[in-house]
Amino acid sequence: MKGMFITFEGTEGCGKTTQAELLADYFRQKGQEVLLTREPGGPKIAESIRMILLNKDNIEMLPETELLLYMASRSQHTGEWIIPALKAGKIVISDRYYDSTIAYQGAARKIDRNIIDTIRKYATFGLVPDLTFIIDLPATKGLSRIKRENADRLEQESLEFHTNVRKSFLEIAEEESRFRIINGNKSIEEIHKDVLKIIKEIQEGRDET
């Protein structure tokens, strides 16, 4: 498989990071070059913005500021890391990308979707993932995996907030063919197998064309 942009999405503690790492290992074992990265974050400037966004002391942050900071972080990440890696033929796996903004800042913070889509197109240079896994898990179950004393600013939000995020991911998944919903209520190994099944189907489809 040539360069491909794969993203993992879902609610807090759904197991995205674990699955993104396992998939990166799978590709590396096959001899493919992989950029495994995350949002908010990645390059230095984007990681600095991440610290502002997740700092639980920043309770006064306005939804508008939050949206623009996520997009600023994403713009640097996409332009500095993701696009050059894809041009070099690498497989890029990102733990979250702009679908998280639609779910968190759109559905949960109630920012107009048209505003998000307009800024998103500019901030990402129009880059859309080739494949997006949504690891679906009830918000309560994911949150129970996170230690409360370590909870960041977003994780501290209400159960209603996180339930809206989950609902939104399931709605977004209906919009484009790049989405695959994975049942997050299974073991780590079983979910990895489900992810690999989809990857292999896509590889076979590509080989036939």
- Residue numbers at the binding site for ligand T5A (CB under 6 A): 10, 12-18, 38-40, 54, 70, 96, 100-101, 104-105, 145-146, 152, 154-155, 187-188, 191
Comparing CB distances to ligand T5A, the nearer of 111 and 199 is: 111
Residue 83 contacts residue 125 (beta carbons within 8 Å)? yes
In terms of Cα–Cα distance, which of 196, 192, 199 is closest to 15? 192
Comparing CB distances to ligand T5A, the nearer of 13 and 199 is: 13
User: Burial level of 114, CB count in 10 A (0-12/13-18/19+)?
Assistant: exposed
Minimum distance of ligand T5A from residue 199's CB (angstroms): 18
Minimum distance of ligand T5A from residue 41's CB (angstroms): 7
**For 2-133, where are the alpha helices, taking DSSP H only?**
16-29, 44-54, 63-77, 83-87, 98-101, 113-123
Comparing CB distances to ligand T5A, the nearer of 38 and 166 is: 38
Comparing CB distances to ligand T5A, the nearer of 145 and 193 is: 145
Minimum distance of ligand T5A from residue 21's CB (angstroms): 8
Residue 179 contacts residue 10 (beta carbons within 8 Å)? no
Minimum distance of ligand T5A from residue 55's CB (angstroms): 12
Comparing CB distances to ligand T5A, the nearer of 38 and 180 is: 38
Minimum distance of ligand T5A from residue 144's CB (angstroms): 9
Comparing CB distances to ligand T5A, the nearer of 146 and 196 is: 146
d(CA 138, CA 11): 8
Minimum distance of ligand T5A from residue 175's CB (angstroms): 17
d(CA 13, CA 130): 24
**Strand ranges for the chain from DSSP E:** 4-10, 34-38, 91-95, 131-136, 179-183
In terms of Cα–Cα distance, which of 114, 161, 159, 123 is closest to 141? 159
